[in-house]
Every structure is written in structure tokens, then in C-alpha cells.
Amino acid sequence: MRDVAIIGVGVTKFGELWDKSFRDIGVNAGMLAMADAGLSGSEVDALFIGNMSAGRFINQQNIGAMIADYAGFALNHIPSTRIEAGAASGGIAFRQGVMAVASGMHDVVVVGGAEKMTDVDDASSNSILDSTADQQWEASMGATMASLFAMIARRYIHEGLATREEIASVSVNGHAHGALNPNAQFRKAIKLESVLRSGMVADPLGLFDCAPISDGAAAVILCPMEKAREYTDNPVRVAAVTQASDTLALFQRDSITSFASSRMAAERAFKAAKLSPSDISVAEVHDCYTIEGLMAVEDLGLYERGNGGKAFLEGQTLFDAGKVAINTSGGLKARGHPIGATGVAQVVEIAEQVRGTADKRQVKGARYGMTLNLGGTGSAATVSILEGI
């Protein structure tokens, strides 16, 4: 297997992009990544697209072919494949792209992720999101994604693993970083009191504990490590990328205060990279709900179980705190959460961090960073570890 490098990254603004179509944002992210890598397009061998539900959001299926067409790749007849795994669609598309290059099947691969979520009303978008849970045994019974994560949060508090204030501080952390990210949906820092007083969504989670409905896209360009410097002087090595799964329904788990899929994907990633959590300087974790972000840093081993909330509350997770920086992009809460784009956007942020191009939110001396992208209530998980060289 060959070592794989990221040679280009691109990301659009995230938010309510009323004046842009799905194909506009998808192609734009790809073009930004191509320009970053200095490619003309003729070098590309394959395309992988993370997208959860364009069929319901914009009534468009056959997404792989559509993006290839409007990006100009259809003229070269390259293979273009859409990947769906709920909110983990983008991260798993990245894994598929890495495997394609590592195996030697392709040399230059574009991995993109895109979602256009604001073209439907709020009730419809929430119904689409709820379909990533178990439709038969959860969603059809009235359980929403918000209510499922509220159950997790309530249990976390009951077991003494975190306080309500510590859970809310995940949102404060995200907004502090989002204020420094020009592509973030919300570019304003907030106070803990604002999170605690926000309108109730599902007890104990309020409005500011939940990621927004978003439009946006992100892309990365991959090639063999041995050829990376032919394209860029600042490549990023993919040290590991892993994937794990769990039961679709939350009630089938032995515990709901830890995701086995996250732990297993992280364990496999650290083993493959020959690293440990202590080597990580910065991480992008899935915080569609604040409790999800808190649990993620503990499942990854970045903070000890029961201490993740304290780390967020005390500001240890900020980019300039000298500890493990979490969600320097703003995370799903502040950067935004266009479902199919999220996992790829996480990779873009960590790539920028380890190559030292994250501007005002740059983590000093970052060499190793990681991502955790989740689908459903942790039924799908993918972890990537990147190295700046």
C-alpha cells in the first residue's frame, strides 16, 4: 500500500446560500482545491462525493454523475461515485479516496462533500435528518435526532460525567473559533449564559446546543506521497483513516454515554499511524449536538472520561491554550453542518492546521491532527489522522 498525501484543499462559505445551487457550491469547492494543488483537471483519475440526501433536499439523484458533468470531468469519462453514510458521508468518501490512491488503482483523486439543505422548510429538513436514526424503531415512534442526543446528555449528567454547564461550553468553544473562520456560518463569540438560556429543543438541550441547517461544500485532492512534491511544496500525509460501525438504534447499545464505533475507529487509527492521543495537537470532532462533541473528545482518548467537560469549560480546548485544540474551524455548531460536506470540511481544517495555514486560529506547532465524523447516533464513525511534513 502506498502512502497518500493531500495536495490541495478547498471549502466554500457555509450557511444559507440562497443564491447558489447544489452544483454551484460543489463545483466551487472542487475548483478551489484544484487551484490550491495547481492542477488543470486533466490529471484527475477519479472523483468521490460525500452526500447524504440530495434526493430529498433538492430532488436530485445520480450525484456522482452530476458533479462530474458540471466540473468538466465527464469529458474525460473518469469514475465518479457518490458515498452515503448519514452525517459521516463526507468522512467516508475521504476514506474511499484514500484507499483508491493507496491501492494503486488511481493516482490523483478528488474527494468532495456537499449538501444543499435550505431549499426545503424546517420540518422537512428535520425529517430528513431524523431518517439517519432507525426509521422503524426510533423515528417512526416519534424520536428525533435532538431527542436521542438529549437522552444521552441527560444520562451523561445522571452518571456524573459532566454538568449542564460543561455540555453547554462545547458551543462556547465552537463559536469562539467560528468567529475567527471567514467561512463559518456563525462568526460571533457567545457566552455560556446565552447557551443555557436559549430556547429549549429537547431537555436539557437548547437551541444553542444544536448545529444549524446549512448549505456548503468542501474538497481535497489526493495523490501518492512519492509524487506529492511534484504538485506542492507543502503536502500533508494521511497517517491513518479508519471506519467502524455500531447498531443503528440507540436503544440496542449497552451504554449510551460512549460510542463504541468512535472508540474502535480511534483505536485502529492510532495503531495504523503508530501514534497515541498524546501526539495530537488539534482535532475536529462531530458536535452536531454539544453532548456529541464532549463525548467525542473522551471516546478519542484526547481527554480522560469525565474530564472532557471540564476541559471545554476551562478553555483548555481553545486554539491558543496549549492543550489539545478542539474544533478550530468552529465545529458543526458554528462553522455549520451541511451534512455531506462536514467530514471533508473537517479534513480541510486539519490539513490547514498541520501545514500552518490556518491564519488567526492556527495552533502553534501543530504536526498531527485528527478528525472524527459520525453518522446517526454513532452508528457510523470514521477517524482520520493527518501529519504535516
Distance CA 327, CA 125 (A): 24
Rounded CA-CA distance 253/73 in Å is 43
Q: Indicate the pLDDT class of residue 340, thresholds 50, 70 and 90.
A: very high
Yes or no: say if 81 and 43 are a contact pair by the CB < 8 Å rule: no
How far apart (Å, rounded) are the C-alpha atoms in residues 156 and 150?
Answer: 10
pLDDT in tens, 238-267: 999 999 999 999 999 999 999 999 999 999
Burial of 306 (0-12, 13-18, 19+ CB in 10 A): middle
Cα–Cα distance measured from residue 124 to residue 309, given in angstroms and rounded to the nearest whole number: 33
Q: Which residue type, as a one-letter code, is found at position 14?
A: F
Share of residues in the chain with pLDDT > 70 (%): 100
- On the CB side of 268, CA atoms within 13 Å amount to 16
Chain mean pLDDT for the chain: 96
Selection from 127, 72, 64, 136 nearest residue 93 by Cα: 64
Q: Kindly report the CATH number that applies to the domain delimited by 122-212+237-388.
A: 3.40.47.10
Please count the residues of the chain: 389
Same-fold call for 4-121+214-236 versus 122-212+237-388: yes
Q: At 344, is the pLDDT very low, low, confident or very high (cuts 50, 70, 90)?
A: very high
Pairwise CA distance, residues 266 & 269, whole Å:
5
What φ, ψ does residue 273 adopt, rounded to 5°? -85, -10
Local structure of 162: helix, strand or coil: coil
CA dihedral 217, 220, 221, 227 (to 10 degrees): 170
pLDDT band of residue 185 (cuts 50, 70, 90) is very high
- CB count, 10 Å around CB of 61? 13
Residue 60 CB partners (closer than 8 Å, separation 6+)? 22, 54, 66
Q: Work out the burial of residue 278: count CB atoms within 10 Å of its CB; fewer than 13 is exposed, 13-18 middle, 19 or more buried.
A: exposed
Calpha distance 284→296 (Å, rounded): 10
Alpha carbon distance 367, 223 (integer Å): 20
pLDDT in tens, 151-162: 999 999 999 999
Q: Judge residue 60's burial from the number of C-beta atoms within 10 Å of its C-beta, 0-12 exposed, 13-18 middle, 19 or more buried.
A: middle
pLDDT exceeds 90 at position 41: no
Q: What's residue 122's pLDDT? A: 87
Residue type, 90: G
Domains of the chain, residue spans:
4-121+214-236, 122-212+237-388
pLDDT in tens, 285-324: 999 999 999 999 999 999 999 999 999 999 999 999 999 9
User: And the C-alpha cell for 379?
Assistant: 452508528
Q: Taking residues 24-52, report their average pLDDT.
A: 95
Exposed e or buried b for every residue in 116-128, given b needs 16+ CB within 10 A? bbbebeeeebeeb
Kind of pairing between the strands at 368-375 and 205-206 = unpaired
Say if CB 309 and CB 167 are below 8 A apart: yes
* C-alpha span between 336 and 114 (Å, rounded): 12
pLDDT in the model for residue 170: 98
**DSSP three-state, residue 169:** helix
When pLDDT is cut at 50, 70 and 90, the band that residue 140 belongs to is confident
pLDDT value at residue 126: 86
**Digit-coded pLDDT (tens) for 89-129:** 999 999 999 999 999 999 999 999 999 999 999 889 989 98
**Domain 4-121+214-236 classification at class level:** alpha beta
Q: Would strands 4-11 and 46-50 be described as parallel, antiparallel, or unpaired? A: unpaired
